[in-house]
Structure formats: structure tokens, C-alpha cells
Structure 1
Amino acid sequence: MEHFSQWFIEFFKKLSQDLWALLSGFFKGIYNLFIGNPINYFKDFNVQSKNFTAGDWALSIMFITIFFVVVVLLLLVIYQIIKRYIRFTKIEQDKIDLLHRQHQLELRLKNGSIQAKNSSIFNSNPKSKKEAQNKKGNRFVKLSNIDEKYKYSVLATPMLEEEKLSLPQLVTRFRNYSAYEHKLFYTEKTIAIFLAGMATSKTMILEGISGTGKTSLPYAFGKFISHDSSIISVQPSWRDRFEMMGYLNEFTKKFNETEFLRSVYESLYRTDINLIVLDEMNLARVEYYFADFLSLLELPNPDEWLLDLIPEQIVGDPVQLKEGKIKIAQNIWFIGTANKDDSTFAITDKVYDRAASIEMNDKAQRFDAPETKAMNLSFDYLQNLFTQAEQNHFISPSNLDALVKLDTYITEKFEITFGNRIMKQLNTFVPVFMACGQEEVTGIDYIIARKIIRKFETLNLPFLQKELQDLLLLCDKLFGKDKLIETKKLVNKFLRQV
């Protein structure tokens, strides 16, 4: 025992000394690295620099600068490594927690404590909903993340009193905002057409030559109303809505969610304006991939704007889906941009007739805009402005009579008619256009040119020269020589082509 005790005491003493030497050496090394040695470096430099020439000073300054840059970069690398390690461990811990919760939920389901068919799982607290979504994996990752983001509650859109503008004030403020904040310049007429188009249809087409701000207009408007527009690049391969919205993969049992679907779903949680931009929409045939939306959005009852997404709904699917269907919210506008060249398809009359078409071929003049901030704009408030415009402004009886005579002539000579749909659009577009501060006949002219005269492109125009010339005379007679400028400009274009 005596020899063992002596050996143990000596061993413990040496071990303690070694540990102390290790710890003291570590802290001493840290001290020397960051404090002691830098002081010595400075002292050595101070002594040596007394004999430096101008060239020595230049080289010294360059070396010190490079040295400090290297040290800073090294510290940044160390910081990033530590940050990634912490993030990695957090993700792994989240995975472990998720698996644990999923296992617990499966056990409870197996034991009968939760009835899978009980719809109350969707009406309980958010924690229960999250557990339901984790059941045996999640078919909709992006959409379920939106459920979590909004905590299963619709987001209100509070508007300040100074944000409750009239339509002319809204035109002016947006025009100043886009010019001041984004250096994008638009005429008041263009913005009035844009707002009147929103009142007329949930689908809009912005077309014209490249560089006139077709995509920039909805982009800037999204920034203006504090809710960014979703810019979706249309792919030439799109043949049906499933390529645009996504589909259920029967092999993986996961839904291939697209950005378009995410934007449509998120709008169900919002009460402001949602703009979904289909950039270069005619790279594929619009009447193919967008056909279901064109039909649905014409239904008078918005509660019927339901689109089949999955064959059947199961526990864990996003809560805004109803019996496998997704609802198209009233606060969505689909805005397509279109170029006309050899790489694109022609947009058919089926699409044009249902959409608000805006031609953008001219760039507005630059102007000095005052500082203008973004604002909040709720869907209900904008819709109320449109409703008030239709009540307070209307097409005059004389112009309605002129439209009937013009329709009769065009139907007889060109076999193209206004029809109920276009007359309905006229009675919505023109009042809102007028409420934005524009002239009544200018609004009528715009609809006639974009909805009726544009269709003359498909006619055998060389045999219709006299009819076209008589149409110009009739326009002057019915509306005045200095009116219907867009209509007569388009007719003259067709005459030059024959």
C-alpha cells in the first residue's frame, strides 16, 4: 500500500502539472497571439522604422495592409465555418425533433387517440395542424410553409387615412412613385388604362415592342402597394395547366409545387392586391395552359372559382385546399406580357376577348417626380373605387347610340360583332377610365381598337379597301373628326398593307 500510495501521489502530481502546463500554455498562446506578440511586433517595427527610407515606408505600408486583409479574411472564414456548423447542428436537431413528433403522432394514431377522419384536426390550434402535416411526410412542402407563415389566419391590410385616395389621386401617386423610386416613367393615360383594365378583367395582356416597360409596370405597382408582384417565366414546353401549377407525382407521392401555385395559394391568406405576372406568356400557347383559368374567371359567382388540384385530400394537406380543390381568390390579377416575333405564338381571340389588352409601344417622357413612398392598398378598397366609378360615370346616350350604329356597320361589312362580352367590358372600362381623369371617347376608342379593329388582321383586307375607307368616314361622322384616334390609326395601318 505504501509503494502504491507513493506512486499514485507522484502520478497525480505529474498529471496535474501537465494539465496546468497545457491550460496555461493554451491561454498564454492566445495572449501572445492577440496581445503579447503584437506589442513586440510594434516595438520591433518602431525601432527598425527609425532608419527607413521613403521606399522602405512604402513597402512597409503595403505589407501591413496586405497582412491585415489576410487576417480579416481568415477571421471571416473561421466565422463562416462556425456559423455553418451551428446551422447544421440546428437543422439536424430539427430533423430529430420532427422524426420524434412524427413517431409520437403515428403511435397516437395507431392507439386510436386521434381519428384520422375527424375534420376537427383542421379546426384546432396551429400546433395540432402542424402535427397533422408531419404525418407520414408532407405532400405539399411550399404550401404548408405558407400555412405556418400566416399561422392559419388571413392577414388584414390596414390602410392609413392618407392612403385612402381617389382614383385620380391613385394615378398621380403611383406615377410619381414609379418615377422617383424606380426611374420608370409612365403617362397618366397608361396608368388609367392599367387600372381600368383591372376593373374590367382578372386577366390582362401587356404587349408591345421590347423595352417599353411591360414587365416593369406590374413590378412597380407591386412595390407601390407594398406587396411584390410574382414574376413567373413562361416556358415554351407548357402544354396544359399542370406544367404551370404542378402535379402529384404518383411515384414519390409528393406534389411538384411551382412558384405559380405558391403565389395562388398565398393570396388566400391576404386581403391586399396580388399580381401574378406571366412573363412572355405567348412563348407557349396561352389557350392551352391557361384555358381553365379563362373559363373559371368568367363565372359570375367567385365562390365557384375552384380548380381541381389533387384527386383526394388527406390529413396533412394544406388547410386552404377544399376536397382537393384550390380556390382562385378575388384579389388576384393575372398579367401576361407578350412580344410579337418569330419565337412566339399568336394570341387567339378566345384569350383577347376575355382579357384586358394594353398596348405599350411608346416610352413616356422623363419628369422630375417628388419624393413618394409606397402605400397599403386593400382589395376591398380598390374594388369599392371601381364600383363608385361605375355608379358615378357612364357612357352617354349619344355615344351608346353611335356604338350601336358602328357595331351594325362592322357586323354587316366585316362579319365581326361587339357581342355581349365586349359591351359589358365597355360599360366597366370606360367609367373607371373616366374616373381616373380621362375622356369618355378616348376610353371607347381604346376598347374598339383593341377588341374589334384588331381582329381585322385575320380578314382578306385587299378585298375590303372600300369598306375600310367607309369605316373611317363613319367614325368621323359618329364621333367627330378628331376622335377615335387609335381606331383610325389601326384602320389606316391596314389600308397601307393592302
Structure 2
Amino acid sequence: MVEFGRYYINFIREFFENVGAFFRGLFEVFVGFFVNDIGQMFSNFIISSIHFTLLDWVMTLIVFAINIVFIVFLTMKVAQALKKYIKFRKEEIEKDELVAEIAFLNQKTMELIDEKNKILALKVSNLGINPNGDDEDIELTEEEIATSRFVKLLQVDKKYEDTITQIHMNENDMITLNELVVRFINFSANKLGLYYDRKIISAFFSGMAASKTMILEGISGTGKTSLPYAMGKFFQHDASIIAVQPSWRDRAEMIGYLNEFTKKFNETDFLKAIYETTYRDDINIIVLDEMNLARVEYYFAELLSLLEMPDHDAWLVDVVPDTQPGDPKNLINGKLLLPQNVWFIGTANKDDSTFIITDKVYDRATPIEINTKSQYIDAPKTEGVTFSYDYLQELFGQAYKDHPMSLPAIENLEKLDNFITKNFKVTFGNRIMKQIRAFVPVYVACGGSEYEALDYMVARKIFRKFEGLNLPFLQTEINDLSKLLDKLFGKNNFEECQAFLNNIKKQF
């Protein structure tokens, strides 16, 4: 024990003596070079320069200049190398910090999405809607989750795996459009406690015939969201209710986007809803709740353009640039073919918290105003219907044959168009005329009259455009238009148009 202690003390002493000798030697080298050696060099130069000729001094200056330039160049290169290294290290550190921040933001995004879903669930819980559907109970394997960019869409694939979705209608469900309106009103009142009058429901079904997009607008609390909800229950396929967020600026907010860091697609409920329609043959309704909380023409522009294309095979929604192994079955070459059996219903409030819906959107959609609550109906017990998309199209086609627009109505509508174009610089346009020609026959088949349907469409598709005009300078034209309506269509036949004009007159 004592001998080891002596050995260890000697070892420590020798170790630190060697370390001290190393640093002393290093110090002596620096001192010798910068003090003794450099001083000796200058002394030798001074002694030698005594015998220098003019040519020797010229050579001395040139050599000294070259050496100085070389030293400066070498110093600059070393400094640049150090600067690049420091910059590289800084970028690496910032990159690591950025990746960590992105991971944190992704986590927060998922938390916000979960919170949004909970808020939506609370909002519609009184209607009995489950915004997330039943797909949450469908479990995917770890391999499926790891190899696919789409989790929600794979859940839909699994939900409909080995499932027959073809619609088999019973004889009791093969009813006319007029019977369909009455049956829905009774079903909604009896089963859901929601009351609607014939005119609103006739306009809804006629709007389905005229356009794939509808806008339900009016004051809050009049049942705008509950109407498409009730339609989903009636057709025995719940409507998908998507809460529009004020932050929506483009299609990525609605469709989703590919996260380049995680290589996963940030799927939205809207994308999942339209993907599920590819498996179904019945009536599909997707609701954009409070659609004008953001600018509709920004985030919905692509779908508005797609739905205008006459070739339904061109209704392709770009989701990702390509297809990879593990992608959903109905995503072909990164595109999703939008089926014809889906309708997009937007609800809109008119207040200071919302944006104005532009003509681009209104012209492509069928607007329906709901400003009052309907009266209580003591309806008999009524069940919903099993309806295929093909059968609904047959009903629309039969309405076009049985109730085409009459020649006098077409001629009077043309005269009205000419007057409005001349005096208000507003025209019906081919798109609106096409919608009117599709809307009116179905509305008549639903139990309404031809002039009632025309009144409804002209008030909402044409007269609505007057809101952007300088109306105080058009008092004479407004009065003449009111008289022309009575002359062309009969007094009190265009009640909604006359009511709109009377509201304008009150502002004079």
C-alpha cells in the first residue's frame, strides 16, 4: 500500500513535469522564432545590405513585395475557409433548429385539427351528426400506415372492401318528384322535428337539377345547415358537414397538401368526403358550413371550374403529382375523378364577419334564401327513401320532357333580358339561361308553377346583381322594370322580384 502510494505520487509528479516541459518547450519555440530568429534575420539582412548595389535593392523590393502578397493571400484564404466553416456550422445548427420547429408545428397542427373536430362535433351534436363518420373505428396495420401517404383514404378503402354499394330500390321508393317533396317534408317534421315549406324544398330539388353547387343563405338560426343534414337522413346517407375556416386561402386548405418533410399527405375531411363518394351510387351531399368565412372564389375556384366542364371524365381533382405504392385504390395517377352523384351545399350568413360572395360563385351555383322559420307541421309517420343517383336523374329527365318551358315564357324572358341589358347593363348569359331551363321543369314537376319558378330564379340570379349598381340614379328604370314584369307575366305573378324592387325603392 505504501509502495503503491510512492509510485503513484512519482507518476503524478513526472506526468505534470512532462506537461510543463511540453508547454515550456512550445513557449521557447515561439519566443525563439518571433524574438531571436526574426531578430537574427533582420541583423543578417542589415549586414548583407551594406554591399547591395542598385540592382540588388530593386530585387529586394520585388522579392519583399511578392512575399507580402503571398502572406496576405494565404491569410485571406485561411480567413475565407474559417468563414465558410463557421457559416456551414451555423446553417447546420439553424437547419436542425428548423426541423425541430417544423416537428413542433406539425404536432400543434394535429392538436388544432383535433380541437376543430371537437368544436364541429359540439356544433352539430344537437342534430345527431358524427362529423368524423365511422371510419375512426377502422384500424390499419402498422405496415399500411408506414407505407402509405394517405391514412384517412385508406380507412375508406378498408371500409368499402368487399362491400356491395349498388342501390336496390323498393317499389315504395319509386315515387315522383311531387311525391318526393311531400315525403321529405313529412319525414323531416316527423323524424327530425325540422319544418320546411313546399317552396323551399321544391327549389332545393330543382337546384340539384340545375347545378352541382348550391348556396343556402339567410339570417342565422333559420335552418340552413339542418336542411342538407335532413336531406342526408332522408336519403339514408348522412351529409358530410365541413366547417370552413377563416384561414382558408387556396385549395390546399380544403383538399390538403403533401408534407415534404414527413412525406405524408395532410388529409382533410373534405378530401375524405369526396373520396368516399367514389364508392357510392346514391345521393351524396357535402356541406361547406359558413362558406363565406373565407373567400369562396379562392379556395373553391378549382372545383367550380371542374363542375362546369361538360365532359364528366374531365372532373379530375389533382391531389398529388404521381401515384406510389400504398396509395388509395381510387387515386389514379395522383388524381381523383369526381363522381356525378355529389352535390356541394354551402351555407352563408350575411354579416360583418363574412366576405361577399362574388358573381363568379353565384353564377355557377343555385342560391336559395332561408330567412324565416317554417310553421309547425303535424306530419304522419314517414320513413326515408332509398334512392339511386340514376333514378333521380331519370326523374329530372322526365320533368324536362313533361314540363318544358312554354314558348310564351321563353319569349317574355327574352324581352325581360333585353330590357335589363339595355337599362342596367346586366345580362342573363348562357350559363344562367341553361340553369333556368333546367330549374323550371323540375320545379313544376315538384308541384310549383312555371312563373313561380321563373320568379324565384330571376330574383336570385339576375336582380341580385343590381346590388352593385348605382341605384339612386336608376329610379326611373326600376319603376319601368316593375311595370314590365306585370305586363309580361301578369300582376302579382312575380312576387319575389317585385318585393326585391320595392326594397330598392325604399332606399331612394
**What is the TM-score of this pair, normalised by structure 2?**
0.72
C-alpha distance in 1, partners of 2:182/2:493? Answer: 25
Match of 2:336, SS?
strand
C-alpha distance in 2, partners of 1:492/1:247? Answer: 48
Q: CA RMSD in A?
A: 1.3
Which residue number corresponds to residue 488 of structure 2? 478
Match of 1:342, SS?
coil
Of 120, 141, 155, 1:145 maps to: 155
C-alpha distance in 2, partners of 1:307/1:154? Answer: 25
Of 429, 436, 453, 2:439 maps to: 429
> Which ranges of structure 1 fall in alignment gaps of 5 or more residues?
1-93, 103-132
* 1:465 is the counterpart of 2:475: yes
C-alpha distance in 1, partners of 2:147/2:409? Answer: 62
Q: For the Cα contact (< 8 Å) 1:154–1:268, is it kept in 2?
A: no
What amino acid is the match of 1:357? P
* 1:276 is the counterpart of 2:283: no
The offset of 1:153, in angstroms, is 5.7
**Higher Cα Rg: structure 1 or 2?**
2
Which residue number corresponds to residue 256 of structure 1? 266
Which residue number corresponds to residue 417 of structure 1? 427
> Which ranges of structure 2 fall in alignment gaps of 5 or more residues?
1-138
* 1:190 is the counterpart of 2:193: no
The offset of 1:137, in angstroms, is 2.1
* 1:449 is the counterpart of 2:453: no
The offset of 1:493, in angstroms, is 0.8
* 1:246 is the counterpart of 2:256: yes
Match of 1:255, SS?
strand
Which residue number corresponds to residue 314 of structure 1? 324
* 1:159 is the counterpart of 2:169: yes
Q: For the Cα contact (< 8 Å) 1:154–1:271, is it kept in 2?
A: no
Q: For the Cα contact (< 8 Å) 1:445–1:484, is it kept in 2?
A: yes
Match of 1:211, SS?
coil
C-alpha distance in 2, partners of 1:339/1:248? Answer: 32
C-alpha distance in 1, partners of 2:375/2:218? Answer: 17
Match of 2:147, SS?
coil
The offset of 1:492, in angstroms, is 1.1
Which residue number corresponds to residue 18 of structure 1? none
Match of 1:464, SS?
helix
Match of 2:331, SS?
coil
Which residue number corresponds to residue 47 of structure 2? none
C-alpha distance in 2, partners of 1:421/1:152? Answer: 41
C-alpha distance in 1, partners of 2:325/2:193? Answer: 49
C-alpha distance in 1, partners of 2:208/2:355? Answer: 24
**C-alpha deviations, 1:70-122, integer Å up to 9, x for none?**
xxxxxxxxxxxxxxxxxxxxxxxx99xx56xx5xxxxxxxxxxxxxxxxxxxx
Q: For the Cα contact (< 8 Å) 1:320–1:326, is it kept in 2?
A: yes
Which residue number corresponds to residue 291 of structure 1? 301
Q: For the Cα contact (< 8 Å) 1:331–1:379, is it kept in 2?
A: yes
C-alpha distance in 1, partners of 2:468/2:337? Answer: 36
Where has structure 1 moved over 6 Å in runs of 4 or more? none
C-alpha distance in 2, partners of 1:222/1:494? Answer: 37
Which residue number corresponds to residue 215 of structure 1? 225
C-alpha distance in 2, partners of 1:406/1:455? Answer: 15
The offset of 1:148, in angstroms, is 1.0
The offset of 1:154, in angstroms, is 5.9
Percentage identity across paired residues of the two chains: 59
Match of 2:415, SS?
helix
C-alpha distance in 2, partners of 1:380/1:153? Answer: 20
**C-alpha deviations, 1:239-268, integer Å up to 9, x for none?**
011101111111001111111110000000
What amino acid is the match of 1:348? T
**C-alpha deviations, 1:34-57, integer Å up to 9, x for none?**
xxxxxxxxxxxxxxxxxxxxxxxx
Residues 482-493 of structure 1 mapped to structure 2, 5 A cutoff: 482-493=492-503
* 1:357 is the counterpart of 2:357: no
Match of 2:231, SS?
helix
Match of 1:395, SS?
coil
Which residue number corresponds to residue 233 of structure 1? 243
C-alpha distance in 2, partners of 1:316/1:154? Answer: 23
C-alpha distance in 1, partners of 2:244/2:376? Answer: 31
Q: For the Cα contact (< 8 Å) 2:147–2:325, is it kept in 1?
A: no
C-alpha distance in 2, partners of 1:415/1:450? Answer: 17
**C-alpha deviations, 1:191-225, integer Å up to 9, x for none?**
10000000000000000111111111100010011
Q: For the Cα contact (< 8 Å) 1:433–1:440, is it kept in 2?
A: yes
The offset of 1:138, in angstroms, is 1.6
**C-alpha deviations, 1:256-301, integer Å up to 9, x for none?**
1111110000000000011000000000000000000000000011
Match of 2:371, SS?
coil
C-alpha distance in 2, partners of 1:151/1:461? Answer: 59
Which residue number corresponds to residue 123 of structure 2? none
Match of 1:206, SS?
strand
C-alpha distance in 1, partners of 2:218/2:243? Answer: 17
Q: For the Cα contact (< 8 Å) 2:436–2:454, is it kept in 1?
A: yes
The offset of 1:152, in angstroms, is 6.1
C-alpha distance in 2, partners of 1:343/1:216? Answer: 21
Residues 339-418 of structure 1 mapped to structure 2, 5 A cutoff: 339-418=349-428
Q: For the Cα contact (< 8 Å) 1:177–1:374, is it kept in 2?
A: yes
Which residue number corresponds to residue 9 of structure 2? none
What amino acid is the match of 2:425? E
The offset of 1:375, in angstroms, is 2.1
